[in-house]
Amino acid sequence: MPIKAGIEKVPGGLMLVPMLVGAVVHTAAPGSGEFFGSFTGALYTGLPAILAVFYVCLGATLDVKATPYIAKKGGVLLGTKVLFALVVGVVLGRFLGESPVSGGVFAGLSTLAVVAALNDTNGGLYMSLMAQFGRKRDVGAYSVMSLESGPFLTMITLGVAGLSAFPWQTLVGAILPLVLGMLLGNLDPEMRRFLAPAVPALVPFLGLSLGLTLNLTAVWEAGLLGAGLGLFVVLVGGAVLLLADKASGGDGIAGLAAATTAGNAAVVPSIVAAANPVYAPAAEYATVLVASSVVVTSILCPLITVFWARRILKQPWAADGVGDATADGDGPSSAPHYVVGANREAAAQHDGT
């Protein structure tokens, strides 16, 4: 029974499908964690521990010996995403503060949700598109962009935006597992080969554990607002990234391909809320909005990227799904995203991410 293949047909499915299962269980039987206790109950409360292991393994896949071109390309895209999220965070922070909008069309929207959606890139989708339409070296740029994974940059952005900040110990603790993994992977290639395969295997457990904290009522209420957040990431974020890519000597394809939200970005709001309870009222809605952005960007980003690539490279349209699941829990959308079958090896580059 092809369970994995079926799950991967959903954009970001390795993260989102288990998260939906967890949300259904939590909505139908909210006390089941306490009822069963033991290891089953730990799935309800063990998200931070799973994430710590995940980021150690992810860090081990990052190679600090990137070529100058890869470092430049990845640095430009990473820096642009971080700066754009910072600007948006500052603007929204002035109007919304830490709390979500309490009523009206934008009920549930928060600075936390928008910043988290902007601060992480769907690596599988980016690499797959680059393998076909960008310069082949651009695939490797994701090794630099992977540094945005996790809550660290979101915490920094919220603090710089003038909202409730985090103690330095919390900030260091948020990035320490990733740094530890980087040290292990770069000091010993055998450690990289040992830890890297665990990254995609942990993604469904992250999704399930996160889903067990969600109520589907909030998912229903997110509705069009979540889709709107995804559109903002693709259209506005994509325009900014395209300009930055072209300004640095690129053709804009890599910039557009990076205008997505990664699957594991959905766990960031809950981590931020655990680190600073001021964000707790925004966290549940933010999680749902970010999850919606994952799906919307996975579908729309390939369409826009292919349109631009066709214009730049004069290549014909075709419709083949490409790419494998990556460290951020994403595979390219199986919805029609019109790319010629990409080199799977290139798309799966960066030690299983």
Q: Is residue 353 part of a domain?
A: no
Q: Is residue 193 part of a domain?
A: yes
Amino acid 351: pLDDT: 33
Q: pLDDT tens for residues 86-138? A: 999 999 999 888 889 988 888 889 999 999 999 989 877 787 778 666 566 78
Q: Is residue 1 part of a domain?
A: no
Q: pLDDT tens for residues 334-352? A: 333 333 333 333 333 333 3
Domain holding 59: CATH number?
1.20.1530.20
Please state, rounded to an integer, the average pLDDT across all residues of the chain: 80
Q: Other C-beta atoms within 10 Å of 246: how many?
A: 14
Q: Is residue 93 part of a domain?
A: yes
Q: Is residue 231 part of a domain?
A: yes
Q: Is residue 105 part of a domain?
A: yes
Q: Is residue 352 part of a domain?
A: no
Q: Is residue 2 part of a domain?
A: no
Q: Is the pTM of this model over 0.85?
A: no
Show the domain range for 47.
7-347
Counted domains in the chain: 1
